[in-house]
A and B are shown apart, each in its own frame.
Chain A
Amino acid sequence: MWFKRKAPVLGDFEQLVLLGVLRLELQDSAYGAAIRQEIHARSRRDVSINAVYTTLDRLESKGLLKSWVGDPTPQRGGRRRKVYALRPAGVAALRQAYRAFTAMADGLQSRLELK
């Protein structure tokens, strides 16, 4: 491409999902249930599995994620997993969101009662 493509702006839930994938992808265990649990455990938000998959699908179509299908396991009743990993564009989008957030929050820690 002759021009540099801008990283897309992420929504709040998209950020959570992408961070979940980032945390889990090293063990190749970034699939729907694990991501949902990770979000629940860390952000205390009990989200639905369909919301997670809808978001994962959207992020994949935007080119931020890639996915492949894993092997069936007995715990899942012989059903397969769909495993996700970040593409570089996904990392860039997350980085941008993180920078924007920290920049905006900088100096406000005391008012937000974070210290």
Chain B
Amino acid sequence: VKKTTDPPRLGVWLLTKRLSAKWCDFIIGDLAEEFAMRSVDSRIAAHAWFWCQAVRCLAAPPPVHRASMALERSRGDSRMHMVVADLCYALRVVSRTPSFAVAVVSVLALGIGANTALFSIVNAVLLRPLPFEEPERLVRIFTRTPAGVSFDLSPGKFYDWQRDAQSFEGMAMYPCCGFRGFALTGTGTARAVRAAAVSAGFFEIVRARPALGRVFRQEEDTPGGKYVVVLSDRFWRTEFGGNPDVIGRTVRLSDEPYTIVGIMPAHASVASWPPMACDLWVPLALSDEERANRQNHNLEGVARLKRDVELAHAQAEMDAISARLAREFPKSDGRWGAVVIPMQEAIVGNSRTMLLMLLGAVGLVLLIACANVGNLFFTRTLNRRREIAIRSALGAGRGRVFQQLLIEALLLASIGGALGLLVAHVTLDAASALLANHVPRANEISNDAHVLLFVVAVSILAGLVAGTLPALRAERSDLNAALKEGGRSNGAIGVGTRRVLIVCEVALSVVLLMGAGVMIQSLLALRHSNTGFDPNNVLSMKVTLVKARYPTSAQRSSFFDTALQRIRALPGVDSAGSIDDLPFIDGSAQPLEREGYTEGSPGGTSVVHVRQITPGYLRAMRIPLLRGRGIVQSDVDVLLVSQDAAKLVWGADDPIGRLARLPLLSKTALRQVVGVVGDVKQRDLSEPSTPTVYYYSRERSWGSATLVIRTSLPPTALAQPVVAAIHAIDPEQPVEDIRTMEQVIDSRLTSQRFSALLLGIFAGAALLLASVGIYAVLSYIVRGRTREIGIRTALGARAADVLRMVIVEGMWPTLVGIAAGTIAAMASARVMETLVFGVSASDPLTLAAVAATLAVVALMASLVPAYRALRLDPARVLRAD
């Protein structure tokens, strides 16, 4: 008997059929329960309600089980879920093909590592702010010579500028040409210390505050002022063990007592800027006569711009002041100007172009690496066409396939990037040591947040560059054909894209090889350029006498005469002499006045390099004597002039026997020219020789000289006996900078050698990568055309035909690449032109050599696949089909 509270049977039956087992009991039970309740009130209403609910349940029953729910959710879920799923899948795929992963990761790690290492250098040298407070307001001040070159300051001009300029908070100066040589005496053995003499206000301008004590007072920056000294943190710790009670104590420098007034903190030392890289500071203390001097340009200026004053405004003000001073002092200041340069620019100097060029070059290497990796991805993607087709058949959209392939590329690039960072970290110490003293701020090279960001960005970029093209090609592939093929590789697909990759690789390689070729030629040209002297078998060393121990010029001359005599007596010494400043070390440039010159007469005065030498110097350096005679010990105040100087000062006239004056040394003394000697490069290997005047004087006004010794022995073997000979005269005399002349020249070439070495490595890597790329593509093409080659051979094609076919296939993208690369190399020649010497950056011979090298390498790379094509057995090929 049917109970009146039972729900309609048809409804229950329908629901039982429609609902899953999971829900059936609960839903029908619930409906039955409520139906019974409602039936108490009204059966009709209860029925109506039941059917209404039943229809809704039948139309949209609750989901069957949770697993299916999860599937549904993942399909429509957030992008992040998909990315995570793709990442997991990529990890599985990568771990299934470890050899592929290792190849891709190692190529990218090297590419990214080289880029990161170079970026670390660029970051430290060019991008990182200088370690000063508000470094953007610090500027360097130079004079501008009538020839338009930035030059050092004379005190007279500096004090006028300091008085009149309103754009600066303060202005200070310090001597150029390195440090003032001091000997730390009174400690038993004398030791050379590096001191910077700075004018009052220097520390306030650079915002260097002492950790202990104080800095100099205005009245201490005068000749009569007290002898005071501020110590660097390093000097304080090594010499005084970091004792804080040293303030007020005295230290003996060159036998003079100096009172210690302050200690600078360690962070105040800035290795890239000489006046802040020294052991100690003393006041500049110029005499009134020196302060008034407007012609002796031997000081450097530093200033701090006032807040809200633009550099251009300061420059304009300095121009106006210079113009006024030129009218006021036409003789000394006429046509001279002033130059204001940001501190960063002054310190970095011409390293900027070189570093940016190298960064560009290493970027090209990465691009080539990416092209190769892209090629690898491409091959693999094509081998996975069936898998991709199945995924598409199961509903993966084109975007989804693209995303998944790209994520694989990005994953490998990220691993490559992480390893690249490691590579960079390992190579940085070596780079820093190699560049120390030759690239400014080399000691600051390190990895920081910028470098990390760079690695991340470059890795992503490399992944995108290498992965995009293959991924795009894959999602375009024909689903139907791929499934029909059943995983067989049939025919070469995407050959066009691969050819484009080859063209790119070859073109980039041409640019790099060209750069390296030109740079190496330039280095060789510089190394073998005629310096005017013979640097082989010459030893040099610097001797700075302690002034207090050799107060008179006679004593100083006697010391050097005795020392040279003893050195000449040593076994193996051919000749020995001395000069105040060696070639390629900053030396003095001064006006030279011909006899009879009167103020205002044109052409009477010329600026020449002036060097003080002793007899024996010319012989030791093998500087040829062209006319007249050399200097001898018995001479008093004579001059030797270089050919350039003779031409500059006396024109076509014979200078021998003429008289001339060096007004900065003595306003009255006339010296006679006794000989003309060969020209010597004094400033830089890449510059032409400089007009030079050598003088010999019994009067030795300063006690610093560089001894130059020519020997028949290996020069370094002579160092010990020479130092012993000097110490035999004065055991407390420091001897510094013991170097061979070849080392002196080499030290001028470090940055060129660094560029040539790096460019050579980059070009070699590019060549290797390009040849591997050509080989890989050709192998792929030959594999794809196996059937065709088999049929051709079976139909009677000769071996030469097959060989030609494969080689032409490899050579034509190479030739297109060489043509494109030649155009690119010509375009980039403008950047290189400023960096090379003795060779044109678009040198046609080098370009021809580069093109030939690449063509030969491409031919070699084509030979193996061609040989493989030749050895195909047509019978086996056709059977396999």
Write the residues of chain A forming the contact surface with B, with a CB cutoff of 8 angstroms: 31-33, 36-37, 48-51, 53-54, 57-58, 61, 73, 75-77, 79-82
Q: Establish whether residues A49 and B31, one from each chain, have CB atoms under 8 Å apart when the complex forms.
A: yes
Q: Establish whether residues B66 and A31, one from each chain, have CB atoms under 8 Å apart when the complex forms.
A: no
| Distance A77 CA – B31 CA, assembled complex (angstroms) | 10
Residues of A near B28 (CB, < 8 A) are: 77, 79
Q: Establish whether residues B53 and A48, one from each chain, have CB atoms under 8 Å apart when the complex forms.
A: yes
- Of chain B, the residue at the smallest CB distance from A77 is B32
Q: Establish whether residues A50 and B26, one from each chain, have CB atoms under 8 Å apart when the complex forms.
A: no
Q: Establish whether residues A57 and B31, one from each chain, have CB atoms under 8 Å apart when the complex forms.
A: no
Shortest CB-to-CB span from B23 to chain A, Å, is 6
Residues of B near A79 (CB, < 8 A) are: 25-26, 28-29, 32
Q: Establish whether residues B61 and A75, one from each chain, have CB atoms under 8 Å apart when the complex forms.
A: no
Residues of B near A57 (CB, < 8 A) are: 62-63, 66, 69
Q: Which of B25, B60, B69 contacts A80 (CB 8 A)?
A: B25
A33-B33, A61-B69, A76-B33 known; 18 new pairs, CB 8 Å cut-off, are A31-B26, A32-B27, A33-B34, A37-B34, A48-B53, A48-B56, A49-B56, A50-B27, A50-B60, A50-B61, A54-B63, A57-B62, A57-B63, A57-B69, A76-B30, A77-B6, A77-B29, A79-B28
Q: Which of B26, B33, B62, B63 contacts A75 (CB 8 A)?
A: B33
- Of chain B, the residue at the smallest CB distance from A37 is B34
In the assembled complex, 14 residue pairs joining A and B whose CB atoms fall closer than 8 Å, in A order, are: A33-B33, A37-B34, A48-B53, A48-B57, A50-B53, A50-B60, A53-B26, A54-B63, A61-B66, A73-B33, A76-B32, A79-B26, A81-B29, A82-B26
Q: Establish whether residues A31 and B61, one from each chain, have CB atoms under 8 Å apart when the complex forms.
A: no
| CB under 8 Å from chain A, chain B span 34-50 | 34, 36
| Distance A57 CA – B62 CA, assembled complex (angstroms) | 8
Interface of A, helix, strand, loop or mixed by DSSP: helix
Residues of A near B25 (CB, < 8 A) are: 79-80
Q: Establish whether residues A53 and B62, one from each chain, have CB atoms under 8 Å apart when the complex forms.
A: yes
Residues of B near A54 (CB, < 8 A) are: 60, 62-63
| Distance A25 CA – B69 CA, assembled complex (angstroms) | 26
Interface of B, helix, strand, loop or mixed by DSSP: helix
Count, A-B residue pairs, CB within 8 A = 68
| Distance A51 CA – B28 CA, assembled complex (angstroms) | 14
Shortest CB-to-CB span from A62 to chain B, Å, is 10
Write the residues of chain B forming the contact surface with A, with a CB cutoff of 8 angstroms: 6, 23, 25-34, 36, 53, 56-57, 60-63, 66, 69-70
Q: Which of A33, A48, A50, A58 contacts B69 (CB 8 A)?
A: A58
| Distance A73 CA – B25 CA, assembled complex (angstroms) | 12
Most chain A beta carbons < 10 A, residue from B25, B28, B56, B63: B25
- Of chain B, the residue at the smallest CB distance from A58 is B69
- Of chain B, the residue at the smallest CB distance from A60 is B66
| Distance A33 CA – B31 CA, assembled complex (angstroms) | 7
Q: Which of A48, A51, A61, A76 contacts B29 (CB 8 A)?
A: A76
Shortest CB-to-CB span from B68 to chain A, Å, is 11
Residues of A near B23 (CB, < 8 A) are: 53
Q: Establish whether residues B62 and A33, one from each chain, have CB atoms under 8 Å apart when the complex forms.
A: no
Residues of A near B31 (CB, < 8 A) are: 33, 49
Q: Which of A31, A50, A73, A80 contacts B56 (CB 8 A)?
A: A50
| Distance A107 CA – B768 CA, assembled complex (angstroms) | 74
Residues of A near B30 (CB, < 8 A) are: 31-33, 36, 49, 76, 81
- Of chain B, the residue at the smallest CB distance from A79 is B29
Residues of B near A58 (CB, < 8 A) are: 69
Residues of A near B32 (CB, < 8 A) are: 75-77, 79
| Distance A48 CA – B25 CA, assembled complex (angstroms) | 16
Q: Establish whether residues A49 and B69, one from each chain, have CB atoms under 8 Å apart when the complex forms.
A: no
| Distance A76 CA – B23 CA, assembled complex (angstroms) | 14
Q: Which 7 A-B pairs have the closest CB atoms?
A: A79-B29, A33-B30, A76-B29, A48-B56, A50-B57, A53-B62, A54-B62
| Distance A54 CA – B69 CA, assembled complex (angstroms) | 11
Residues of B near A75 (CB, < 8 A) are: 32-33, 36
Residues of A near B33 (CB, < 8 A) are: 33, 73, 75-76
| Distance A80 CA – B25 CA, assembled complex (angstroms) | 6
Residues of B near A76 (CB, < 8 A) are: 29-30, 32-33
Q: Establish whether residues B29 and A80, one from each chain, have CB atoms under 8 Å apart when the complex forms.
A: yes
| Distance A49 CA – B56 CA, assembled complex (angstroms) | 8
From known contacts A33-B34, A37-B34, A61-B69, infer whether A49 and B27 are also in contact, taking CB-CB under 8 Å: yes
Residues of B near A81 (CB, < 8 A) are: 26, 29-30
Q: Establish whether residues B62 and A80, one from each chain, have CB atoms under 8 Å apart when the complex forms.
A: no
From known contacts A33-B33, A77-B6, A77-B29, infer whether A49 and B53 are also in contact, taking CB-CB under 8 Å: yes
| Distance A61 CA – B74 CA, assembled complex (angstroms) | 13
| Distance A82 CA – B62 CA, assembled complex (angstroms) | 14
- Of chain B, the residue at the smallest CB distance from A75 is B33
Shortest CB-to-CB span from A10 to chain B, Å, is 16
